Amino acid sequence: MMKKEFFLLLFFCWTTAAVAQQKNTSKPMKNLKTGFVHTVYFWLKDTHSQSAKDSLYQGLQTLATIDVIQEKFIGVPASTRRPVIDHTYDFSITFVFKNKADQDVYQEHSIHKKFVADYGHLWQKVQVYDAISIP
């Protein structure tokens, strides 16, 4: 009888481990964040003007105060150089919103509109990439 109980216990442990493994592999990326990601790259008209750089940076900081933004990142090109990397821009922002509706609020927000009006003369090009998470 002891042998039978041992094999039953072994079988139970094996099936429990197999089920746990299957649950872990069914959603291997379950820790990924979800949301609406808004990334913008800015190319200044005068890339050598420290005043223009300082001014645009100040303006970008005002954008980051809009309350519907969940995650905020303001950056400049990293020193990485590989053929697939575009490092020609001067500034970038990446803002994460809970959903598209919140991003729409951001687009119509008075701070965003004021930013475009007050700082738009500084850039020659703006490129926007919007992405939504995959459920």
Which structural domain, as residue segments, surrounds residue 93? 36-132
What is the model's pTM?
A: 0.78
pLDDT digits (tens, 9 = 90+) for 78-115: 999 999 999 999 999 999 999 999 999 999 999 999 99
Q: Hunting for tokens 């041992």 — which residue is that? A: 6
Q: Give me the DSSP letters along 22-74.
A: HHHHHSTTTT---SEEEEEEEEESSTT-HHHHHHHHHHHHHHTT-TTEEEEEE
The per-residue pLDDT for 31 is 82
pLDDT greater than 70 at residue 75? yes
pLDDT higher at 26 or 128: 128
Could you report the per-residue pLDDT of 35-63, keeping only the tens digit for each? 999 999 999 999 999 999 999 999 999 99
pLDDT of 30 reads: 75
18 against 86, higher pLDDT: 86
Torsion angles phi and psi, residue 85, rounded to 5: -100, 125
In this structure, the answer to whether residues 58 and 15 fall within a common structural domain is no
Does residue 50 share a domain with residue 14?
Answer: no
What's the pLDDT at 47? 96
Q: Kindly state whether residues 85 and 65 are assigned to the same domain.
A: yes
Count structural domains, the chain.
2
19/64 same-domain check: no
